[in-house]
Structure 1
Amino acid sequence: MINRDTGKSDGRCHDSTPVDPWVADFSQHLTMELKRGPRTAREYARDIEIFGAYLQGRASSDEHKAPYRGPFGDAFLEATPSSVRRFVMHLGTCKYGAAAIRRKLAVLRRFFSFLKRDGHRADNPAIEVPNIKLPKRLPKALPVGDVLRLIGTRAPAGQAELRWRRDIAILELLYASGIRRAELVGIDASDVNFDDRTVRVIGKGDKQRTAFFNHATADALQAYLRVRPPCRDGALFVSAQHRRLSYQQVGRVFSAYVRLSGLEGKVTPHTMRHSVATHLHKSGVDLMTIKEFLGHESIQTTQIYAEMTLEHVRRSYEEHHPRDRMR
């Protein structure tokens, strides 16, 4: 299923191999030449398949229904700027968010650029379609007190020690290191170095980097490792079946603790990443250091945390400046 706000797949695709040969070639180009991860390739393929289904009159407005996956014949070779524009308008009527539409348009531009490079098209019809303007929206960051409340949430009565120690270690590590959920599930036990309090992770584009964690996280990890069952592939976080914990399972663990904590609003594992970056910047850590800490390729991505801090200053100013309070 596709998240209509972000345009990303939730991972419930039953078969990740594209049916259409053009989409299959593009997926191979992403993974083999551009070194994109398999999850990214699947999401890109799904976006193109939604476009292909639209071109063939098989589009569905039902988010719970998987799109027609092809083959699409010559539909991609015959697509025009007008058909891309109509597709964008169609997505709007299906109540996709601006970010999701913008993402799909970016994927189509890259796909048609690939077809043009390989001599299958003379043009790129998606280039001529303007971008959807995104509303200015800062990522959500929890106050420190709410993070501590979440991490300190007691497990349900009767829950096995293995499970609650694992879950607390997950929460601690997400906040301490700022790693992504996809990075967390890929960690092996051998990637953790308690002497340096570091963990080796594989980020976007299969790039390896070192993340850091604090003493509290080290204690939580060591307590979990004392009861962790053996896992054939060496995964750090494992299920009751002794298998590597999946991306979706981590999401369910996190959601359960958010509910137990009583926190309101949408709080996700990625919220922890935004929260630690915001807290570090408010404490005086410079943006270049935060860029390296988060594994961002560009400082422009990290710049959002400066804007978040400025917004906090503005709200505090308006709330506490004595001149306005005297009016």
Structure 2
Amino acid sequence: MTKALTSFLNYLEFEKKVSKHTLTAYSTDLLQFQSFLIQEDQNAALVTANKAEIRLWVASLMDTKKSTRSINRKIASLKSFYKHLRKHELITIDPSKSIHSIKTPSRIPQHVKASEMDGLFKNETFDDSFTGVRDKLILEFLYGTGTRASELLGIEVQDLDFNSQSIKVLGKRNKERIIPLHTILVQQLKNYLSYRKAFDTSQLFVTETGTPLKYHQLYTLVKRYLSTNTTVSRKSPHILRHSFATTMLENGASLNDIKELLGHTNLSATQIYTHSSLKRMKNVHAQAHPRAQKKS
């Protein structure tokens, strides 16, 4: 790994304090670009890359049928890297400055219907073992709080406050927020803690051996339960975040309240949930209003 890349990754980890998942994504993107450069020229390097080489790499990514979202993330990684180098005078010209993200069509986020989530908790058999109690709690927690996977994995026992029925969450850029916990969730947390007390670790969610739960374990767990109980095509922890937001909106919560609960910086990030709610309301209107049922 080059000195420039190491410097940038250290900046992200120790100054920006990005999550391990984000740090890995940046590192992967930049190393992929470095490999592309070396394939074209053995003497090529990240610090000497030019605009034309970046455009060629983006074009090659598009040829491999990678998603627009994935390509845009890689472009963003490059732009952040070269901005850092320029700021520290490691390069004189930023080759990514005129590189723009690829336009993407607006996509309505998938979510699990409230009826399907109710069915999951009603029909799924969660036994009284540590794993069964933990799995049910995780699903209830993601759906009941809208936390990101990285936030859930970072929660410590001391972040719980049963007196106020709330929990402290550390979000993106180390921004703290307080999320209320509904009564069922509080009861499940207390039950889980009675199983977990044998483990000497600060992390709230752990494996059956007491080690902190990792992202791939969380993803596998959520995917398994959603696969047998829901109809959504994407089955990840983030789908339950979308489900939380959509359910809140459909039951009368304001966009500003949902924004605060999700930890969004801008309201525009929260407004994507109005599309799925509007689509549902249009369907209800079409079925229920007598004028909507008449043909012109």
Tell me the TM-score normalised to structure 1 length.
0.84
Residue in 2 that maps onto 1:204 = 172
| Post-superposition CA distance 1:46-78 (Å, at most 9, x none) | 11111111111189xxxxxxxxxxxx9751222
Over 3 Å counting, the alpha-carbon distance change for 1:73 and 1:233 in structure 2 is farther
Once the two structures are TM-superposed, the CA of residue 127 in structure 1 deviates from its matched residue by: 1.8
Q: Aligned in 2, Cα 1:99/1:292: closer, same or farther, shift over 3 Å?
A: same
Q: CA deviation at 1:153?
A: 4.0
Deviation string, structure 1 residues 138-193 (Cα, Å, up to 9, x no partner): 1112221012122334237xx66111111111111111111111111111222212
In 1, distance between residues paired with 2:99 and 2:52?
A: 8
Residue matched to 1:68? none
Partner of 2:152: 184
Q: Is the 8 A contact 1:229 1:242 kept in 2?
A: no
User: What amino acid does structure 2 have at the position aligned with 1:92?
Assistant: M
* Counterpart AA for 2:254: D
Q: Distance in 2 between matches of 1:219 and 1:58?
A: 59
Matches within 5 A, 1:215-234: 215-234=183-202
CA distance in 2, matches of 1:242, 1:176: 24
Q: Quick check: 1:281–1:287 contact (8 Å CA) kept in 2?
A: yes
| Aligned sequence identity (%) | 28
Aligned residues: CA RMSD: 2.1
Could you tell me how far apart the structure 1 residues matched to 2:195 and 2:40 are? 51
Q: Which amino acid in structure 1 is aligned with residue 261 of structure 2?
A: F
1:155 is aligned to 125
1:138·1:304 contact (CA, 8 Å) conserved in 2? yes
**Aligned-pair CA distance for 1:308:** 2.8
> Which residue does 2:206 correspond to in 1?
238
Q: Which runs of 5+ in 1 are unaligned?
A: 1-18, 60-71
Query: Once the 2 structures are TM-superposed, how far is the Cα of residue 212 of structure 1 from its aligned partner?
Result: 1.7
Aligned AA (2:208): A
C-alpha spacing 1:22/1:190, structure 2 compared with 1 (3 Å): same
Q: 1:160 to 1:309 in 2, by over 3 A?
A: closer
**C-alpha distance 263-155 of structure 1, shift in aligned 2 (>3 A):** farther
Partner in structure 2 of residue 112 of structure 1: 82
| 1:90 CA drift (Å) | 0.5
Q: CA deviation at 1:323?
A: 3.5
Give the CA deviation at 1:324.
4.6
The correspondence for 1:295, drawn from 263, 269, 279, is 263
Distance 2:251 2:230 in 1: 27
Counterpart CA distance in 1 for 2:60 and 2:117 is 40
Structure 1 position 44 matched with structure 2 position 26: yes
Shift of 1:214: 0.6
For the pair 1:35 / 2:17, whether they are aligned, the reply is: yes
Q: Report if the CA contact (8 A) 2:143-2:240 is conserved.
A: yes
Matched-pair contact (CA < 8 Å) for 2:19–2:150? no
2:158 maps to a residue whose letter is S
Deviations 1:99-120 (Å, cap 9, x if unpaired)? 0111111111111111111112
Specify whether residues 260 and 228 from structure 1 end up closer, same or farther in structure 2 by C-alpha distance, changes over 3 A only. Answer: farther
3-state SS in 2 of match to 1:236: coil
> What CA distance in whole angstroms lies between the structure 1 residues aligned with 2:232 and 2:276?
20
Contact 2:86 2:92 in 1 (8 A): yes
Determine which structure has the larger helix proportion and give its number.
2
Quote how far apart the aligned CAs of 1:284 are. 2.0
Match of 1:175 in 2: 143
1:318–1:324 CA contact under 8 A, matched in 2: yes
TM-score (norm 2): 0.92
Cα distance, 1:262–1:107 mapped onto 2, change above 3 Å: closer
* Aligned: 1:141 with 2:111: yes
Distance in 2 between residues matched to 1:239 and 1:58, nearest whole Å:
45
Q: 5+ residue gaps in structure 2?
A: none
SS, match of residue 325 in structure 1 = coil
| Counterpart residue number, 1:277 | 245
5 Å-filtered alignment, 1:8-19, equals: 19=1
* Conserved? CA contact 2:246–2:276, under 8 Å: yes
1:97 corresponds, among 53, 67, 73, to 67
What letter is aligned with 1:231? F
Distance, in Å, in 2 between the alignment partners of 1:305 and 1:251 is 23
Alignment correspondent of 2:35: 53
